[in-house]
Structure 1
Amino acid sequence: MSPLPRPAVTGRALTGLAWAVLLLALSLRGGGGADGPAGDVPPAHGDIAAVGRPLGTGPSPARAPLPPATPHRLDIPALGIAAPVVPRDLDRTGAVAAPPYESAHSVGWFERGTRPGARGPALFVGHVDTATRPAVFHPLGSARPGTKVRVGRSDGSVAEFTVEDVRVVPREGFDAHEVYGPRVPGRAELRLITCGGGYDRAAGAYTANVVVSAYLTGVTNLP
């Protein structure tokens, strides 16, 4: 993939073109290296969202956004994902820095973006594998509309999100605004992103990203 412009980052959130370019530059290239990925990656080809469900009409009504609070844990019980959340910034290339491979069972949250539960899409990234084993988001491609995502937050609350669609987006030639912009203006949303598609051994990278979109539907344990 050819180099991309570096986004100008100001304030606590990115919007418009800077946000789209930043996300397009995600540095989630998988951990397989020259030897390829570890284990079998779940099938990840095309749009695997529920057929016939209009965008924004998920199985549960959206809840009003919450006051901002930082995340510390992410759980997707149906997929067996239970992981600590670590804040991440941009790396030297201008891409979101995924957690280091020695922490491949942690989920990275882009700390200069939206806090999960607040209005707008909050971004979480995680590895699908390392050179030797599956990583935290290895099962992510198996998510389906209706799957619950729970985020523990610093104010003591647990924000519950409901998956509305799952997409596999090629790295080349996609509409970043469509993929990463708000699905419904004013909602609290999540984007969970990992590697997907096929593995290009020559490039040492996956050919696509799995993008799971979810929106806030509940909250528990408020102080």
Structure 2
Amino acid sequence: MSSARGGGRLITGLAWAVLLLGLWLWGRGTANGSGASSAPTTGDIAAVGRPLGVPLPPAHHPLKGAVPQRVEIPSIGIAAPVLPRGLDSDGAIDPPPYAKPGTVGWFGSGTRPGAAGAALLVGHVDTESKPAVFYGLSAVRPGARIKVTGADGSVAEFTIDDVQVLARDRFDAAKAYGPRKPGRAELRLITCGGTYDRATKAYTANVVVSAYLTDAREPAPSKPAKP
């Protein structure tokens, strides 16, 4: 999401409330809806979905999940720390701090990356003066890998299977944030997209990248204490 104090390009409270609604109702795998989102796109970024002929690996069985500490998307050069986020004073999910545009936020009361359900990571697209952590997120393509390192040293690797730009005025939280397949460990990465509306000081859409768990590395066993 974009960020700035006062008149900056910060995503509106209503949009964050929609994100929160998606987390509470569908983030833990309780959604009834499934399948790729078909909402129309808007602005200067096109939804790419899943191009024909892109082979995708089988899903890995869900893990216990760990508190995320770092997220990496090598294909677009993203490598950033992750901070758990809660709710703000309006009851909406709190975005990453204004002073840390290179930080990704994870809704700490939701699903942990690697566990069954859909874990949600959010980040700003820009600030008033420069690009932020998810500036290049719309350029990622299905088949690309996402690596999430947990605080316990575990590594969960996800494969992207869908990239969409969802218009704010026709937003379907169930399709955007709900698990695509029951029982699967999934990941959502969210930022602003479309075009920036100076009148409302908000972007017209959200970029929603969907991925699912395809590989995992358990944390190294701790060494026994010396007698």
The answer to whether 1:76 aligns with 2:73 is yes
CA distance in 2 between counterparts of 1:180 and 1:17 reads 7
The answer to whether 1:132 aligns with 2:129 is yes
Match of 1:49 in 2: 49
The answer on whether the counterparts of 1:58 and 1:164 sit within 8 Å (CA) in structure 2 is no
The answer on whether the counterparts of 1:162 and 1:215 sit within 8 Å (CA) in structure 2 is yes
Could you say what the CA RMSD is over the residues aligned between the two structures, in angstroms?
A: 2.8
- Structure showing greater radius of gyration is 2
CA distance in 2 between counterparts of 1:169 and 1:19 reads 21
DSSP-derived class of the 1:101 partner:
coil
- Alignment of structure 1 residues 1-223 onto 2, 5 Å: 14-16=24-26, 43-45=44-46, 47-52=47-52, 59-223=56-220
CA distance in 1 between counterparts of 2:174 and 2:208 reads 13
CA distance in 1 between counterparts of 2:147 and 2:14 reads 35
Match of 2:7 in 1: none
Between stretches 92-101 and 188-197, larger displacement belongs to: 92-101
CA distance in 2 between counterparts of 1:191 and 1:17 reads 10
Q: Percent identity?
A: 52
- TM-score, normalization by structure 2: 0.77
AA aligned opposite 2:50: A
Q: CA deviation at 1:93?
A: 2.1
The answer on whether the counterparts of 2:27 and 2:179 sit within 8 Å (CA) in structure 1 is no
Q: CA deviation at 1:204?
A: 0.8
Distance 1:193 1:208, change over 3 A: same
CA distance in 2 between counterparts of 1:125 and 1:3 reads 15
The answer on whether the counterparts of 2:106 and 2:122 sit within 8 Å (CA) in structure 1 is yes
Q: CA deviation at 1:43?
A: 5.0
AA aligned opposite 1:152: T
Q: Which runs of 5+ in 2 are unaligned?
A: 1-11, 31-42, 221-227
CA distance in 1 between counterparts of 2:217 and 2:113 reads 14
The answer on whether the counterparts of 2:159 and 2:213 sit within 8 Å (CA) in structure 1 is yes
The answer on whether the counterparts of 1:43 and 1:141 sit within 8 Å (CA) in structure 2 is no
Q: CA deviation at 1:155?
A: 2.2
AA aligned opposite 1:186: G
- TM-score, normalization by structure 1: 0.79
Distance 1:52 1:172, change over 3 A: same
Q: Runs of 4+ in structure 1 displaced over 3 angstroms?
A: 1-4, 16-20
AA aligned opposite 1:167: Q
